[in-house]
Amino acid sequence: TQAKGLKKEEDGSYTVTCECMGEVYDINAKILIGADGPESHVAKWAGLKAITKPKHMESGIQFEMCNAKMERNDVLEFYFGSVAPGGYFWLFPKGDDIVNAGLAIIPEMAGDKSAYEYLVDAVNNCYALKDAQPVELNVGGDPVGGLVKEMYNDNIMLCGDAASQVNPLTGGGITSGITGGKLAGQIAAEAIAAGDCSKEFLKKYAELVDEAMGHDMDKYSKACDYLWTLDDDDLNSIAHAFRGIEFTTLGTTELVKALIKVQPKAALKLRKLFL
C-alpha cells in the first residue's frame, strides 16, 4: 500500500489517500505518524521543516555476495578513510559463503566518484571478495545530521529516518528508530485518551526523544567532526595504538590518551568531545 497524498481536515485530523493494487481509497486519522524514511513525503505534505542538508545525507549502497571467503564468519569488518569518505566500508558475514558488502559516503566529501564506484573499488580490493559474485543490490539515503527541526505539529509526529533519528557516527538507525516509534505510539495513545491532539500536547514526544537520544546525537556529531579530520595514515596509527588493548574494559581516559598520542593537535577537540 502506497500513500499518495495528504489532506488536513477542518477538525484537525488528516486524511491520507492510499493506493493498493490499483485501488485508491482514503484513511482518516486523528493522529498521523510519519515513518516513511529519509526525505519524508508525509513531512513535506504536512509542511514540517524536516529537511536534511545534502552534506548530512549519506549515500548508502550494498551488495549481497556469494562465494565470499572471510577469515572469520563471526566477526564484522569495518574499513574507514579514503575507501568511503565520510562513512565506512563494511563486511557482514551471513553464514556459509554469503556476505553483505556495502558502504556509505558523504557525496560532498567524495569528489566525482559515486557510491557505486566506491563500492566496486572496495570490493575489487577486498581479500575476502576476490571470487565473490553479487546476487543483490540495495541502495538508499541515510540522514546523519541529527534530529530534524520539526518532528511534530498538530495531529502529527515523525519518527525513525523521517525524523533523522539516526546515529551520526555509525549511520545506524534501527535502535533509535524503534525508540522513536515507541515514544510516538505512547504519546499518540495518551493524546487520544485525553482528547487533545494539539501541537502543545504532542510536544511531549519531542521532549522524550531529546531525553532519550538528543545528548548522544550531539556527542556523535562532534565525534564525526573529529574523525573526518583524519587521513588514512592517522587512522592506521590509531589502529596500531590500540593493539593489545582490551576494549571491554577500555575507559574514556585511556581512549583519549591513546588518541592524543597519535594526534597531539587533537587534544582540544577530544576534550570537547568527551566532556
Predicted TM-score (pTM) of the model is 0.86
Integer Cα distance of 121 and 124 in angstroms: 5
Sheet harboring 32-34: ordered strands across?
Answer: 32-34, 156-158, 152-153
**Residue where a domain terminates, one of 143, 176, 196:** 143
pLDDT at res. 221: 86
Contact 50, 105 (CB under 8 A): no
pLDDT under 70: residue ranges of the chain: 247, 250-253, 255-256, 262-263, 265-275
pLDDT at res. 85: 95
Residues 150 and 138 reside in one and the same domain: no
Residues 122 and 149 reside in one and the same domain: no
Question: How many separate domains does the chain show?
Answer: 3
**Residue where a domain terminates, one of 116, 143, 170:** 143
pLDDT at res. 266: 64
Phi and psi, residue 149, nearest 5°: -65, -40
Integer Cα distance of 119 and 170 in angstroms: 18
Taking the CB of residue 197, how many other CB atoms lie within 10 A of it? 22
CATH number, domain with residue 153: 3.50.50.60
Which range marks the domain in which residue 237 is found? Answer: 229-274
Integer Cα distance of 238 and 64 in angstroms: 30
pLDDT at res. 58: 96
Residues 35 and 64 reside in one and the same domain: no
Residues 171 and 186 reside in one and the same domain: yes
Would you call 97 helix, strand, or coil by DSSP?
coil
Cα four-point dihedral sign 100, 106, 109, 113: positive
pLDDT at res. 220: 86
Task: Strands of the chain (E only): list them.
Answer: 2-8, 14-20, 23-29, 32-34, 57-66, 77-80, 88-93, 99-105, 133-143, 152-153, 156-158
> Quick one: which H or E segment has residue 204?
helix 199-209
**Residue where a domain terminates, one of 115, 143, 171:** 143
Q: In this structure, which amino acid lies at residue 32? A: L
pLDDT at res. 246: 74
Would you call 154 helix, strand, or coil by DSSP?
coil
Q: How does pLDDT run across 135-186, given as a tens digit for each residue?
A: 999 999 999 999 999 999 999 999 999 999 999 988 999 999 999 999 999 9
The torsion region of residue 119 among left (phi > 0), alpha (psi -120 to 50) and beta comes to: alpha
Contact 222, 273 (CB under 8 A): yes
pLDDT at res. 226: 80
Residues 161 and 127 reside in one and the same domain: no
Residues 78 and 131 reside in one and the same domain: yes
pLDDT at res. 113: 96
